[in-house]
Amino acid sequence: MDASKLIDGKAFAQGLRARVAAAAAELQARHGFRPGLAVVLVGDDPASQVYVRSKTKATEEAGFHGVEHKLPASTTQAELMALVARLNADPDVHGILVQLPLPAGLDAAAVVATIDPRKDVDGLHAQNVGALWSGAEGLVPCTPLGCVLLLKDRLGQLAGRNAVVIGRSALVGKPIAALLLAENCTVTVAHSRTKDLPAVCRQADILVAAVGRAEMVKGDWVKPGATVIDVGINRVPTPDGKGRLVGDVAFAEAAAVASAITPVPGGVGPMTIACLMRNTLTAACRIKGVPVPAV
């Protein structure tokens, strides 16, 4: 395929993380504080452990103050809520991330609701969700934010474009729709009950797939010249037993007709942690009452 069609999320994320690190160093020099991020991991879910290691490494590389709390799967709801309350009160912590999913028996919604909205760097608290949809100041979920940053970098002005988002989850689909509306796109949110989904997708100048079904979106679903953002990460079996990662979009088919497309891996994935660092920087500046750097 034409390499110019690839939207290189890995390269963009590296640049964003470098800009965040430079801004953090400037905050330390000018104002005497470092952004602080606390990550809470409950239990021993292997995927969550990998994510937390990556987030911890990114925190160190950004020059942030990092705090990691690893709790056993036997942790009670009350113990977890008490930890969040302590982090809310810690003046050196500006961002709190409780790694999801939580072990069975723990109420994730109640935990998220306990996080100080100013420190909710995942953008999941109801106050931040409301701020996103109403256009008020808040913190935006990292993956959707990363998708929109990639789109603006590739396309420039998004206003007036038809966008179709496949998926309506609170983590990705709904926030991406809100962000695209804020960019003055005309947005359709499609899902499992949508009639003639391929025909709906073919109307999209911007097609975002966030459903968690391997290669569901076929090449003939894509409007010629469209920009495709593939949020899906699915492991499919291979003869050697190791498996391989694919997105929600049949990449080779879609790339043949799209003008630009994110690969999996190396597209949206790296943007999530980069935007977590960006959100933590933003939260720290707002809490401390200093201007948020343009990164």
Residues tagged active-site: 55, 99, 122
Residue 168 counted as an annotated binding residue = yes
Question: Cβ(251)–Cβ(261) under 8 Å?
Answer: yes
Q: Which of 178, 182, 38 is nearest to 122 (CA)?
A: 38
Residue 19 counted as an annotated binding residue = no
Residue 167 counted as an annotated binding residue = yes
Question: Cβ(77)–Cβ(129) under 8 Å?
Answer: no
Q: Classify residue 215 as left (phi > 0), alpha (psi -120 to 50) or beta.
A: left
Residues at the annotated binding site? Answer: 167-169, 233
Residues at the annotated binding site for NADP(+)? Answer: 167-169, 233
